Structure formats: C-alpha cells, structure tokens
Amino acid sequence: MSANPETTLSTALPPPILDRGLLGWAHANLFSSRFNAALSILSAALLGAVAWFSLRWVIQDSDWTLIATLSGRLIIGPYNTEQACPGQDCFWRPQVSLLMVTTLLGMAWVAAGGGLTKRIAIGVTAVLAAFSLLPNGLEEMGMDVRLLLVANIPALALGWALARYTPLGTVRWIAILAVCTFAATLLLLGGREGVPGLQPVSVIHWGGLMLNLLLAVAGIALSFPIGIALALGRRSDLPVVKLLCVVFIEVFRGVPLITLLFMSQVLVPLAFPEDFPLNSLYRAAIVITLFSAAYMAENIRGGLQALHRGQTEAAQSLGLPNWQITLFITLPQAIRNVIPAIVGQFIALFKDTTLVYIIGMQDIVTYSRAFIQGNPEFIPSALELFIFLGLVFWIFTYSMSYISRQIEQNLGVGRR
Amino acid sequence: MAAIPRGLTYKGIPLWRHTQVIHAALQVVSGLVAVSLVAWFFVNIGRAIRDREIPYGFSFLSREYQTPIGQHFLPYESSDTFLYAFGVATTNTIIVSIVGVILATALGIFVGVCRLSGNWIVSRAALAYIEFFRNVPLLVQLFFWFYIVLALPPVREGHVISDLIYVNNSGISVPWLQAATIGGGLLYFALAAAAVFAGVAVHRAMIRRETTTGRSSYPLFLGISTTVVIGVACWLGMTAAAGQAPFSISIPEPQGTFGRPVGGFTASGGLLALLAGLVIYTSSFIAEIVRAGIQSVGRGQNEAARSLGLPYMNTLRHVTFPQALRVIIPPLISQCLNLTKNSSLAAAIGYSDLTNVAKTMTQTAPAVSIFILIMVAYLAMSLTYSIIGNLYNRRISFS
Amino acid sequence: MDTETEQLSEDIIVCTDLHKWFGSFHVLRGITTSVKRGEKVVILGPSGSGKSTFIRTLNRLEEHQRGTIVVDGIELSNDVRNVDAIRSEVGMVFQQFNLFPHLTVMQNITLAPQKVRKWPRAQAEEVANELLTRVGIPEQAGKYPSELSGGQQQRVAIARALAMQPRIMLFDEPTSALDPEMINEVLDVMRELAHSGMTMLIVSHEIGFAREVADRIMMFDEGIIVEEGTAEEFFTNPKHDRAKEFLSKILS
C-alpha cells in the first residue's frame, strides 16, 4: 500500500510561463503549432498591408467634400428643397418628430428600469445633440436647426419625467404614444393645405435616411403581427386556411422584392379607382411589409416547430382554451427562441428599404446616386460616398444585432 | 352518464359550440374572403384595362424587340423577337446565378472555416468580414463595386496584361474558347461530360476495390487519367474527322477608333460589379451557416474519432462534414435562392438581367403580361431550388 | 539487467510528474504512476478531482504541460505521428457514447479499421460481427445509433474501440449516463473483457464492479493520487482521511 506520503494535499501552482497571461494567450491563439505560427505571420502581414493601403487612401487620396456637400440632404433627401416646400423652411418638421421620438425613449428608459434601454436612449440623444456641433453644418443649417438638435436633451428629460411622475410610464401607454407619434409624424411631414407653416409636401419629395427609417419602422411594426398570423395559419388544422397561408408565403418568398415593388407601381393602381389616394409611399410600405411578413412567418414557424409538445399538453391539461394556449404559452416561447432570426429579418427589411429606387423614391442611396449623376464632377468621389453610406447602414444594422444579443442574454435563451 | 358518441353528430350540441361546425365555418369564411379579394383585384384590373384602354395579351411576344441588350450570353440582335429577348434576359440571370452560387459557396465555406480557426487573427478577420458585408445593403455594395470598375482607366489607356487580358472601365476582356461550329462545340461538350462521367465511375470503382480488397488502387489518379485520356482522344478524333479542332482560342484584340477589344470574352462592368457584390454579400451569410453547421457537431464526435486514431482529415471527411452538411444544406439552398433573387438588383448597375430587361420592355409592351412572365420565371427558379432541397432532405433520412 | 528489461516491458503506461492547467486552474498537480500490462485499474474520486482529465491525457485528448507520459514505449509529445500511433493502440469509451449518428452500427465499427489499419471491408466487417456477438448484440449491425437503447449504444461503443485491437482500454465513466437497468449489461461486457487479459483504466463509481475486477484502485483528489492500493486494502482499510471521507459518502 502506497498512500501518498504527504498528509496535506498538494498546493496549486501557477501554470508554466508559456501558458500564462499575455504570453500564454499568444501561445494558445497564435503560435500553438508551426503551421499556426506561419498562418499568424502571413495573415498579420496581409491585414497589415490592407490596413496600410486603406489608411493611406483615407488620408492622402480620398476626398470627402461630397459628403459635406450633401450633409443634411442625406438625412431628408429633397424634402427641404424649393421644389418640395416652396418658399418655406421645412427642416423643422422631421426634427420635431425626432423630438417626439426622444421623448418616447425617455419614457421607455423609465418603463424598462434602466439597463440597455437607458444606454440606447442616452446614446441616441447624445449623438443627435452632437450633430449640432458639426462645423460646416447640415445643409442650410441655421441656428434654429442646431437648437432643435440640442433640444433632444430636454426632450429626453421630459420623457423621463413624464414616465416617472405621471401614470404614463407603462409599456401600454408608451406603445399607444408610439403609434400616435408615428401618425403625428406622417401628418407633420405631409402638411396640410391652409394651415400656416404646414404647407403640403408631396410624398415623392420625402427622402433620405428619413424615408428608409419611416419605411423600416412601419414595416417592422406591421410585418411582425402579420407574420405571426401567417405562421399560425400555416400550422392550422384547417386545410383551407393552411393552403391560403402557404400560397401567400411561398409566392412572396419566391419573387424578388424589387419585382414586387415595381408591380406595386404599375399594376396595383389599376385595381383602384383613378382618384384613389393610395400614393407610392403607402404602396411601397405595404409591399415591403407583406414581403417581410412572409419571411417572418417562416422564422416564427421554425420556433413553433422546435417547441416541445409537452408545453401544449400541460396547458391543455390545465383547461386553458386553445387561443390562450397559443397566446400565453406557445407563442412567447417560440418567439423567444427565434429572436436572432426575427431581428435578422428586421435588419434585412431595413436594408431592403433601399430597393425603393426601382419606383423612383429618393431614399438615401438613390438620392446620393442621383446627385452624383446630376453633378458628374463628383464621380471621382463616388467610392467615398458609398463607403460612407455603407458605414451609416452598418451602424444601424449592427446596433440592431447588438441589441438582439443583449436581449437574448437577458432572457437567458439557451441557458434555461 | 353515458359517454358522448363520437363522430358526426349534432345531437345535444348547439351548432355554434360544435367544433366541427366552427371549423367548417371558419374555412368557408376565410376561403371566401381570400377568393373575393383576389377576384376583386383582378376584376378591377380587367375593368381598368378595358376602360383605360391599356394593352394586354401576349401577341407582342412575336414582335421584334428593337432594343439592344448590353451583355448577353446567347447571340442577340435587335431584330430578334420579344420572346427571344426574354429568353436572353433569363439566361443572363441564370448564368449570373450559377456562377454566383458556385463562387459564393466556395468563398463562404472558406470564410466560415476561417471563423472557426484556432488562430485568433484569422478568426477575427473572418468575423469582421462577416459582420461588415452582411450588414450593409447589397445595393450600396453593388454601387461601390460599380464605381470601382468605373474608376479604372478608360478603354484607350486601359491595362493590358501580356496582350491577352484587357482591363478597363468598360470591363475585362480575356481569351476564351471559340467553337468552330455550334454543333461541333455542343458535341464536344457532350463528349467531355461523358469523359468526366467515366472518370467519376472509375474513381468510384477503384474506391470500392480498395475497401473490399484493401489493396491500394489509386482512385484519384486513375479517375483523373481516365477523364484526361478520353477528353484528349475525343478532341483528336473530332479534329481528324472535321479537319479542324472543335474549339479554338479567341484572343481579344483592340479594334476601331476607341480601341475596344473584340474577340475573347468580355465581362462588362455591370456583370463584374454584380458578381462581386452578390458573391461577397452572399458569402458572408453562407460563412455563418457553415460555422453554425460545423459547431453543431458535438465535441464528443471529434474526440471519439480522434481516440480511434483517425487522422484529422479522415475525421473531417467521415465524421464532421457528413453531420455538419445536414445542418448546412437547407439554409445554404435558401441563400442560393436569395442570390438568384438578389441578382434582380442588376437593374441599378446596368446589367441586363431578367428584371432589368422586363422593366425596359414595359415601355413598349403590356406591363400586365410582362409581370405574369417574370413572376412565372422567378417562381420556376425558386421551385427548382426547393426541388433540389427536397431531394436532399429525402436522401438524408437517418435518425 | 534481466529483471530491468522485464520491468520495462511490463509497464505499459508510465507517467512521471504529470501537470495540467485549464487556464490558471491547476487540474493535475504532479501524477507519477505506472500501469502494468494486463492490469485493471479503477480510478475513483470526487468530481473535479482530475480523474477524467488524467485518462484523457493518456491518449492526448488533453495536452499535458509538464512531465512525461510513455505509452507502450512511445512518448506522447507534439509529434503527430506518435499521437496517432498511440491513439490507435489505446481504445476509449466515453460517458456519452459518442457514436457517429450518421453511420450504422456496422459503419461505426468498421470506419477506423478501414481508414487507419487499411483493412479490406470484408475483414473489417468480419471482425465487427465477431465483436458484436461478443458484446451480445449481433442482430443490430444495420441499425442507426438512435434506434438503440443507451446500454446497447455503449456496448457498440466498446465494440468500436475494440475493433482497432487496442492494447489498452480507457473507460471514462462508462455507466454514468445509463438507466439503472442497463448498467449491468455494460458491466458484464467489461467484466468479460477484463478476464480476457486487456489492460484497462476505468473511471467509475461502480464500487461492486471495482471490488470484483480491479487489481488496483487509485483515488484522486485535487489533482493528485491521494491513495492507491489493491481493492481489498482500499475498501477495508483506507489510510488517507480523504479516502475515508469519500468512501463513507459513496458507501452510505
């Protein structure tokens, strides 16, 4: 019998120097084998070269004056031009609706109890306020434009106070107010005949990033419930309902969005009386929404299929009626399981708003491209422009996927 | 209390509480609503067509299209019919899709494998690639590549690489095979396909021989040799029979006042930008699919294979990939379908794909009819993809 | 001299001052031991004591960072050829079976002999059939793993490891993932294997099995072997406090 002679157990030692700290990290991640070391050196050299040339291009050869020239028009497109809004300054209208949004963010901050929502609210407001400090100004950016941008800070504070000290600080109220804000934005941007200062602006002049955001917000808000309905319909026991949903989903998924958009422009108006007030903006929004809803339905159906039958059976055995089982048991779990896919679809929808070029709407990409074509002296700056636009979109879409990952973590999906 | 008899019975149950009645009513109502919506839509369109005297019908298809098509893979003249022009445009879309799918899959697998590399730099670089390219709208990326091509020097001052390859702002011209006669070219294609087929058959037979007898049979070497030998023999045979080789190599040469290269194959700027954009954009999605697929194979599988002494490549080939593929293939197919549909953005950068040509056609032909045609064309393409997907799903029926 | 060569050939595994860290966590803190040809060693110890890590270092599923391991005369080092050579001599059975779900039972067993040993398929299948008979499930060859019970899967896993004709078998808690009624069918196979003279290292909590089969018991705690000896000595008269404490917990 050879019991270990020491009566006390051995003490822990630090790992060998090669496996410790920065050196250990480098050893494990960069130089764990001869092949790996060669790969590290090669890829570092390659990336270094790419970084060097890019940096040199950015510093020496690139010319960003086009971005500064466009500046505010990137955000609102032709909205504030003489054609769209003759004899008036209309820049304040989108800015006021922005103030309403920051107010809502302030309320959401309180309702969510801080955390991620708080960081989003403060971040958005800070960025907006910081825009007022830009040196060469948003297009025709007078003092009023700067002031309205800075006003986002008190707007946030107002929202915060409203939610804190009045009974408006509940999710339900915020949702209602959000819908009102959206409607108010549409009214404000559209203007009204005869109201002083609110000269009508035709939707064909709505443009820039504002248009992308409007279409994306409307599309997200509407495609989600429609997608849920389609997903439930496709899983229904009723053959007719199921067939209708399958046909709808497959047709919309089988055809490119721009074909549908183009069709909405040429074909849909034929189905309505000639004086029917269904303008191109609404048509585009409806098509984007339905297209996105078809994809959303498939994502949610995936989540429903992955659910364990036991959940439904347990709910049934408790005597819950079917619609309550769906609403309170299966849907919340299914949606929670496919949050990444759903947010992915939101991101796709936001990116797809650029496709309205096919029907001649002046979103941020189309407007900039048209500007280059109208002013050929800027063609050499096209690369800078599209890199800049890429970054703008990337900031939005990457923030969305970042938020989705945070939500997932907070819900503890996958670690239940 | 007696059990309520099952089956179709209304005894004792009020109609509005009977599940079967409720279900039937729901179906009838939803069916009626849907049918009447669709009917209303088309009846209105029909009425509009009549009242506003909008042209319709398909008689235009046999008319001459009379409009040039920029890049085309099938021979095309402006005097060809609408129907033929539609076929040319569809071919343009199909060719871009096939080339795009192959390149995007290859690039996506490469980036996905890099993402899983144990090497920190490589894996981070792959992550940056994925996160950037899939989060920027394809349209923006297409314009970016389009203006990169435009930024190349004009035709006269373009780069010429050893008098064979011409790179300039209207595209890239490279030497290409030129069939002596179309029939001969097609015949040789068929023969070459047969040679590849024979090579694969030999490869399979040799693998079977190796597994049953255990003797080394060099399957790869023998398979490739078979293909090459048959291919060369057919080439020589056809040359002897027709007095000329089935294909000659056509080299682009600058001609005319602008020095535009003629001959060879010229990929227009639009085509290049479209391919670059589609391939890079789609590959960033495919890379994520590949990563998720490989990660879905449990660590234990790898450990079990390695503990049996299977070398790394064998483990990948026989254990990891077959399992990962089951997870990868279905979303991969849907990405390939997306690529095909996204090729419709070609209209923005002047490549003559199906949507672009159709859009132009609506100016001289009835829009309603053209929409029906492109809907059918796209639905046929997506049906093809789902048939491929279903075939694959049927093949992997285990577990 | 004579005894020394005999000694060398007798020790099939020799570990000297084996250390292993997971990050900064010191899992194995100096293991020095050897296993003789044909010896059956059962390794006990609380969870997190390093016993699984120890047997996983023996076929380099985990890399050790200090010390030496010599298996059947080959030292485990960064040389890929040594690693592959040792892995084909050392069979391993996992807690979670780790059968390949996309291959049939027959393909699971014949894959490695065909690819590594380069046996013809007929020979590999013949050996596989013999092994399936030996583990008591000759009729399941054409099925996929998901169609088998846990006990059957683990017996296939044992057959798969044996098909490579290893000299040493490692068992990493082979019965822990099984339903109680299936434990014995697996232990029976292992018992039969032990009587055939195979060198076996078994991480297990099956005390009855350990008592019956083990030539030696090793007790791990906090990364070292706190006590080792024959089953008889270990269970009736443990020396170390930790061993006494552990025994009282698992025997109660």
Mean pLDDT of chain C: 88
* pLDDT more than 90, % of chain B: 28
Mean pLDDT of chain B: 85
Structure confidence at residue C35 (pLDDT): 93
Q: Is C86 in a helix, a strand, or coil? A: helix
Which of B303, B299, B305 is closest to B317 using CA atoms? B305
Which of A104, A245, A230 is closest to A168 using CA atoms? A104
Query: Rounded to an integer, what distance in angstroms lies between the CA atom of residue C188 and that of residue C206?
Result: 12
Tokens of C88: 């084909």
CA distance B38 to chain A (A): 10
With an 8 Å Cβ cutoff, are A9 and C227 in contact?
A: no
Q: Does B36 touch chain A (CB under 8 A)?
A: no
pLDDT one-digit tens code per residue, A259-292: 888 888 887 887 777 767 678 888 889 999 999 9
pLDDT one-digit tens code per residue, B268-301: 888 999 999 999 999 999 999 999 999 888 889 9
> For the whole model, what pTM was predicted?
0.85
Q: Does B379 touch chain A (CB under 8 A)?
A: yes
* pLDDT more than 90, % of chain A: 26
Query: Rounded to an integer, what distance in angstroms lies between the CA atom of residue A299 and that of residue A292?
Result: 11
CB contacts, 8 Å: B319 with chain C? 100, 111
Is residue C99 exposed (0-12), middle (13-18) or buried (19+ Cβ within 10 Å)?
Answer: buried
Query: Rounded to an integer, what distance in angstroms lies between the CA atom of residue A136 and that of residue A130?
Result: 13
**CA angle C226–C228–C234, rounded 5-degree value:** 105
CB contacts, 8 Å: B300 with chain C? 94, 96, 98
Over 60: is that where the pLDDT of B399 sits? no
Over 90: is that where the pLDDT of A82 sits? no
Query: Rounded to an integer, what distance in angstroms lies between the CA atom of residue C236 and that of residue C230?
Result: 10
Over 60: is that where the pLDDT of C117 sits? yes
Q: How many CB atoms lie within 10 A of CB C156?
A: 27
Structure confidence at residue A271 (pLDDT): 79
Q: Is A105 in a helix, a strand, or coil? A: helix
Which has the minimum average pLDDT: A9-23, A297-311, B139-153, C81-95? A9-23
Structure confidence at residue A205 (pLDDT): 84
CB contacts, 8 Å: B313 with chain C? none
pLDDT band at C172 (very low <50, low <70, confident <90, very high): very high
Name the neighbours of C, counting chains with at least 3 Cβ pairs within 8 A.
A, B
Structure confidence at residue C132 (pLDDT): 94
Q: Is B176 in a helix, a strand, or coil? A: strand
CB contacts, 8 Å: A16 with chain C? 19, 21, 65-66
Mean pLDDT of chain A: 84
Query: Rounded to an integer, what distance in angstroms lies between the CA atom of residue B255 and that of residue B246?
Result: 26
Over 90: is that where the pLDDT of A22 sits? no
Structure confidence at residue B2 (pLDDT): 45
Structure confidence at residue B396 (pLDDT): 67
CA atoms within a 13 Å half-sphere pointing along the CA-CB vector of B4:
9
Segment B5-16 mean pLDDT: 62
Residue pair A358/A262 in contact by the 8 Å Cβ criterion: yes
Interface mutation target, options A255, A276, A349, A361, chain B, most CBs of B under 10 Å? A255
Closest residue in A to B339 (Cα–Cα): A256
CA distance A203 to chain B (A): 22
Using H for helix, E for strand and C for coil, what is the string for A276-325? CCCCHHHHHHHHHHHHHHHHHHHHHHHHHHHCCHHHHHHHHHCCCCHHHH
Closest residue in A to C240 (Cα–Cα): A3
Total CB pairs under 8 A between chain A and C? 53
pLDDT band at B178 (very low <50, low <70, confident <90, very high): confident
Q: Is B98 in a helix, a strand, or coil? A: helix
Segment A202-230 mean pLDDT: 91
Structure confidence at residue A412 (pLDDT): 62
Q: Does C144 touch chain B (CB under 8 A)?
A: yes
pLDDT band at C190 (very low <50, low <70, confident <90, very high): very high
* pLDDT more than 70, % of chain B: 95
**CA angle A77–A81–A87, rounded 5-degree value:** 150
Over 80: is that where the pLDDT of C251 sits? no
CA distances from B36 to A263, B30, B40, C153 (A): 21, 10, 6, 58
Read off the DSSP letter of residue C17.
E
Which has the minimum average pLDDT: A193-197, A411-415, B385-389, C235-239? A411-415
CB contacts, 8 Å: C21 with chain A? 15-16, 19
CA distances from B371 to B58, B78, B349 (A): 11, 22, 21
With an 8 Å Cβ cutoff, are A3 and C223 in contact?
A: no
| Of C92, C96, C100, Cβ closest to residue B307 | C92
With an 8 Å Cβ cutoff, are A33 and C78 in contact?
A: yes
Which of C82, C86, C11, C20 is closest to C51 using CA atoms? C20
Say which residues have a Cβ less than 8 Å from residue B288's Cβ, sequence separation at least 6.
B112, B115, B130, B134
Residue pair B150/A408 in contact by the 8 Å Cβ criterion: no
CB contacts, 8 Å: B54 with chain A? 270
Segment C70-89 mean pLDDT: 82
CB contacts, 8 Å: A358 with chain B? 347, 359
pLDDT band at A138 (very low <50, low <70, confident <90, very high): low
Tokens of C198: 């195979």
Over 80: is that where the pLDDT of C228 sits? yes
Over 80: is that where the pLDDT of A139 sits? no
Residue pair B308/C116 in contact by the 8 Å Cβ criterion: yes
Structure confidence at residue A68 (pLDDT): 80
Structure confidence at residue B134 (pLDDT): 92
pLDDT band at A1 (very low <50, low <70, confident <90, very high): very low
With an 8 Å Cβ cutoff, are A47 and B121 in contact?
A: yes
